[in-house]
């Protein structure tokens, strides 16, 4: 069944108010559209845990820096709605597709500045990114009034930043992180994968392969961070037309490395790599086998 589509905040507030008056639990899955199986896995988890699920589809301009791919970011609303129709068995999905003017009306001047987990890694290479993410996510939390929000682990740092501001600002919502969904060959699903040529996509497999190799080195040999990171970078740069923004082994909450170059588990290894002109991110949580 086709999901209900809502385009204005006032209408969404009215719908959600009615649901809460019935003591129904509302889940929320924020997306920028161009949906794939990774997004659908989040929707399914929300449907499992909630009476109703709101899926937002909005390409947020404030999280793109000048020169990034905002203009060419894929916008595939009809296909997105068709994918959601396939899982809307109980007719309990609402799709919120606001315009840019609805989200950022004239004379909009308020933003959420985040530090802590927002500063390293993506924060270094995209210094305005998490300000835009935090602002739009907080607005969407206020608009949906959801009980829980579901995010994918692929955007691991983003999830930690959102958890941080939810805690710091006392936002009454549960944040759930769901596993990365990968293609059968290991490539993490991403809306940006469609930018890759077939040959570049094959080369991009080195991202997940280097993460698995890093896990093996850490669990088998207890290597120092620098040695593991250097091995991963060498494996990635062995392919043509690759460049590395970062590979880092960090605390999974603070996203900071240990100052003495040791690795304490649990840890997260995160990377951002440009394959030709496409920037891809991936990560892996590493825990003790004991």
What is the rounded CA–CA span in Å between residue 54 and residue 177? 17
What is the rounded CA–CA span in Å between residue 130 and residue 112? 9
CB 38 within 8 A of CB 180: yes
For the record, the structure tokens of 216 come out as 């093996």
Q: Which residues pair with 30 in a beta bridge?
A: 56
Name the catalytic one among 13, 20, 36, 39: 39
Residue 55 backbone phi and psi in degrees, to 5: -115, 120
What is the rounded CA–CA span in Å between residue 75 and residue 80? 9
111 sits in the region (left: phi over 0; alpha: psi -120 to 50; else beta) called beta
Burial class (CB in 10 A: 0-12, 13-18, 19+), 239: middle
36 assigned to active site = no
For the record, the structure tokens of 126 come out as 């995209």
Q: What residues are annotated to the active site?
A: 39
């Amino acid at each position: 069944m086709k999901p209900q589509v809502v385009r204005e905040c006032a209408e969404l507030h009215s719908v959600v108010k009615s649901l809460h008056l019935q003591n129904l639990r509302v889940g929320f899955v924020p997306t920028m559209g161009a949906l794939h199986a990774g997004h659908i896995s989040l929707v399914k988890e929300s449907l499992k845990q909630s009476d109703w699920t709101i899926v937002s589809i909005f390409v947020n301009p404030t999280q793109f820096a000048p020169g990034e791919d905002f203009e060419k970011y894929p916008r595939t609303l009809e296909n997105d709605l068709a994918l959601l129709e396939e899982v809307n068995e109980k007719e309990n999905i609402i799709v919120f597709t606001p315009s840019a003017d609805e989200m950022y009306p004239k004379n909009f001047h308020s933003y959420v500045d985040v530090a802590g987990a927002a500063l390293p890694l993506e924060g270094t290479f995209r210094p305005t990114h998490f300000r835009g993410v935090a602002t739009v996510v907080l607005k969407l939390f206020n608009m949906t009034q959801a009980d829980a929000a579901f995010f994918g682990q692929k955007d691991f740092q983003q999830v930690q930043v959102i958890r941080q501001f939810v805690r710091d600002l006392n936002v009454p919502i549960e944040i759930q992180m769901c596993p990365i969904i990968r293609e059968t060959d290991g490539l993490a699903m991403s809306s940006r994968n469609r930018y890759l040529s077939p040959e570049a996509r094959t080369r991009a497999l080195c991202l997940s392969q280097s993460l698995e190799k890093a896990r093996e080195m850490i669990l088998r040999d207890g290597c120092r961070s620098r040695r593991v990171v250097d091995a991963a970078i060498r494996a990635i740069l062995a392919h043509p037309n690759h460049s590395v923004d970062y590979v880092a082994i960090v605390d999974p909450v603070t996203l900071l490395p240990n100052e003495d170059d040791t690795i304490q588990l649990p840890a997260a290894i995160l990377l951002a790599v440009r394959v030709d002109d496409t920037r891809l991110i991936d990560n892996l949580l590493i825990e003790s086998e004991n």
